[in-house]
Amino acid sequence: MKIGLVYDLRDDYLAMGMSDEQVAEFDSPVTIAALAGTLAGLGHEVEPIGHIRHLAARLVAGSRWDLVFNIAEGLKGRSREAQVPALLEAYGIAYTFSDPLVMAVSLDKAVAKRLVAEAGVPTPGHAVIACSADADAVDLAYPLFVKPIAEGTGKGCELASIVHDADQLRNASLALVARFGQPALVETYLPGREFTVGIIGNGDEARVIAVMEIALRASAEPGVYSWTNKEECEDRVDYALADDMTALTAGDVALRAYHALQCRDAARIDVRCDAMGRPCFIEANPLAGLNPGHSDLPMLAAAAGMDYRALIAGIVEAAARRSGLDDAQAVEYAA
């Protein structure tokens, strides 16, 4: 197939004066080169496009592709991850990963939690804080955890996110509202084991690739898988596949959330255990990072025996089958 590659490059936005934290979700040249090389190695004709404005200009000029491999996070707004899929749908072009609605509701963590809770998936109690009155109205047992409502990559998650009384809650939540220009999500703090779960496929074929446990070292910010801990994960975090009963339950919770949110092709779902050791849904990542040596989804897939080539091939095959692309190269999922 002729595959277009749409992405947000960190260097482009750093050159505009944005901070390291602001560009944390964007990709490096290493990731783009790995994706382009892997897709080409699978026999596809690959055309790097860049961010959404480059894509829009190419579409207006008449460029077309059989499939767009989309990893663009978007720049502004809580529906930013939905922008590229919506634009591609307007032009009738198939693309990888979830549709605009799923991208939007997954990024708004409160909306995602309401949907999975309605489907019977366990998730901690929560509230949304946009002002001091909202903070004063929270009726949840402490300790609580506060984070931006529509960010990823651990942005805004830090030691100060764990709050133990009303004053700490008010200060932490309003600081996040001011810093990120969006409401804060507060939820019951889960002190137990933390997992991230990779899922690939659609409908009845969707399956868990692996469940990976995240364990913070003594050198890490304690109690939270923060942006800093993620950026410096080689020195701060231990990752290991888990297959005990709790991990298997975490995988089941993740797959149920994947279906409840109607995710497509592949995603990564974060799960953490409550004080009783019960796995609970935290958030969904329908546009998971794909840096071959640094992102959680490729890391857990590799640990489970699915190399980077097989992961990317599986994502493309899932998207191609779902989109009815008859000329898609059939590639079996790795075991």
Give the C-alpha separation, 239 to 227, whole Å.
Answer: 16
pLDDT tens by residue, 123-182: 999 999 999 999 999 999 999 999 999 998 788 898 899 999 999 999 999 999 999 999
In tens, the pLDDT along 192-239 reads: 999 999 999 999 999 999 999 999 999 998 888 887 887 788 889 999
What pLDDT shows up at residue 326?
Answer: 61
Q: What pLDDT shows up at residue 294?
A: 87
- What are 315-333's pLDDT values in tens digits? 999 999 999 996 444 333 3
Q: What percent of the chain has pLDDT over 70?
A: 97
Q: What is the mean pLDDT of residues 89-118?
A: 98
d(CA 263, CA 274): 25
Supply the DSSP string of 185-224, one letter for each residue.
EEEE---S-EEEEEEE-SGGG-EEEEEEEEEE-TTSPTTS
Look at residue 234 in the predicted model and tell me its pLDDT.
85
Q: pTM here?
A: 0.92
**Domains identified in the chain and CATH numbers:** 2-97 (3.40.50.20), 125-188 (3.30.1490.20), 194-323 (3.30.470.20)
